Amino acid sequence: MRHLAGAAHPPGCAYDADVIILSLGRVAETERAIASALAQRGVALHVTVLDQGSDPAALARLARAVAGQARVSLYGADENLGVAGGRNRASALGHGRVIFGLDNDARFAAPDTLARAVAALDGAPELAAIGLRILAEATGGDDLHSWGYPRALLARAGEVFESVTFVGAGHAIRRAAFAALGGYDEALFFCWEEYDFSLRAIAAGWTIRYRGDIAVRHRLSQEGRVAWSGRRWFYFTRNRLYIARKWRQSWLALAPRIALYLLRGLIQGGGGLARPGQILRALPAAARMARDVVPAAPAPPMLAYLAAHERAYRPLWARAVP
């Protein structure tokens, strides 16, 4: 990684939070995300922006926006490391006790959002991470495309509840938990990285919590958020099966899920075979990835947590819905 603009490194003294923003194009949105972070009050923070392949003109514009900023550092990666790898690299550059992940097309909903997220983790030592409420920029209502929890819980979007995952658009992780768990699994590259991290946290005795009373606003991007085309279905299927195999789920037990993925791909594929084809290619890819890990058997406390906070609300057929 190369330092491109802004502060050469975070401050040497202790501070509360690192705000991590990954960028790839969408410079105007990234500038808004940075400005939103710098407008946060009641909290000591440093903003780390990691660009993973913007074109030279866009990168130069971003560097100009960051130039001279003492609380922002802009770095450039030599390649696209993916969401998991990018967050790991950016997080490692700071030392705030909280890591706040903010999508570059999102912004804090209020000036005290970050301070409240930090306080939520400080006040509950059992928490590894919290997911924030994601509001649609255009309407101010819940961003349904970013609702990563059981649909049965959507009516509780403004409440607080225990969860088995969090949504990447706006979340906060305790750095001590992040370090203890080794961060994200970079083999995932994109899709399900938050779920994988959460399962490992739960297995280690941590809790994941959704905080519907703390929010970010999200501007829906058309180039990948909604259009489930191309390799997006590949990553969705490959990674989810790989995670299941990590926890010793047999291929026989996964057969209903695979069938539902294929059915969903056919229904939403516009009559073509592109999506089912991606799913079928994902199967051997997941098997190859799983060969490189030693599977773990979920302990009874983990199984009880998953049953209470996920399976009680999500029937099997709903688990094939992106």
* Structural domain containing residue 312: 231-320
CA atoms within 13 A on the CB side of 127: 26
Q: How many structural domains is the chain composed of?
A: 2
| Helix, strand, coil fractions of the chain, as percent rounded to 5 | 45, 20, 35
- 224 occurs within a structural domain: no
What is the predicted pLDDT for the residue at 142?
A: 95
What is the predicted pLDDT for the residue at 231?
A: 81
**Higher pLDDT, residue 31 or 277:** 31
Which of these, 245, 244, 238, lies nearest to 280 by C-alpha position?
238
What is the predicted pLDDT for the residue at 269?
A: 58
Give the tens place of pLDDT for each residue, 136-187.
999 999 999 999 999 999 999 999 999 999 999 999 999 999 999 999 999 9
pLDDT confidence bin for 5, thresholds 50/70/90: very high
Same domain for 251 and 184: no
Same domain for 117 and 140: yes
Give the tens place of pLDDT for each residue, 9-65.
999 999 999 999 999 989 999 999 999 999 999 999 999 999 999 999 999 999 999
Q: Using the 3D structure, point to which of 189, 218, 247 is the last residue of a domain.
A: 218
Same domain for 63 and 180: yes
What is the predicted pLDDT for the residue at 275?
A: 75
Give the tens place of pLDDT for each residue, 31-42.
999 999 999 999
Same domain for 64 and 7: yes
According to DSSP, the β-strands at 207-218 and 106-108 are antiparallel
Same domain for 178 and 40: yes
Same domain for 175 and 84: yes
Same domain for 315 and 191: no
Q: How many C-beta atoms lie closer than 10 Å to residue 163's C-beta?
A: 24
CB 166 within 8 A of CB 210: yes
According to DSSP, the β-strands at 207-218 and 127-136 are parallel
Report the C-alpha gap between 167 and 114 in whole angstroms: 16
Q: Using the 3D structure, point to which of 218, 253, 276 is the last residue of a domain.
A: 218
Give the tens place of pLDDT for each residue, 288-298.
999 989 999 99
According to DSSP, the β-strands at 98-102 and 170-174 are antiparallel
Task: Give the mean pLDDT of the chain.
Answer: 92
Q: Using the 3D structure, point to which of 186, 218, 250 is the last residue of a domain.
A: 218
- 113 occurs within a structural domain: yes
Token couple for 112:
């005290």
> Percent of the chain scored above 90 by pLDDT?
82
Same domain for 143 and 121: yes
> Cα dihedral angle (20, 24, 26, 29), rounded to 10 degrees?
0
Residue 278 has pLDDT above 90, yes or no: no
SS3 call for 173: strand
Which of these, 150, 217, 228, 143, lies nearest to 191 by C-alpha position?
228
Q: What is the pTM of this model?
A: 0.94
**Higher pLDDT, residue 261 or 320:** 261
What is the predicted pLDDT for the residue at 182?
A: 98
Same domain for 249 and 197: no
Same domain for 58 and 164: yes
Same domain for 108 and 24: yes
C-alpha 214, offset from chain centre: 16
Same domain for 154 and 123: yes
> Percent of the chain scored above 70 by pLDDT?
92
CATH number at residue 74: 3.90.550.60
- 223 occurs within a structural domain: no
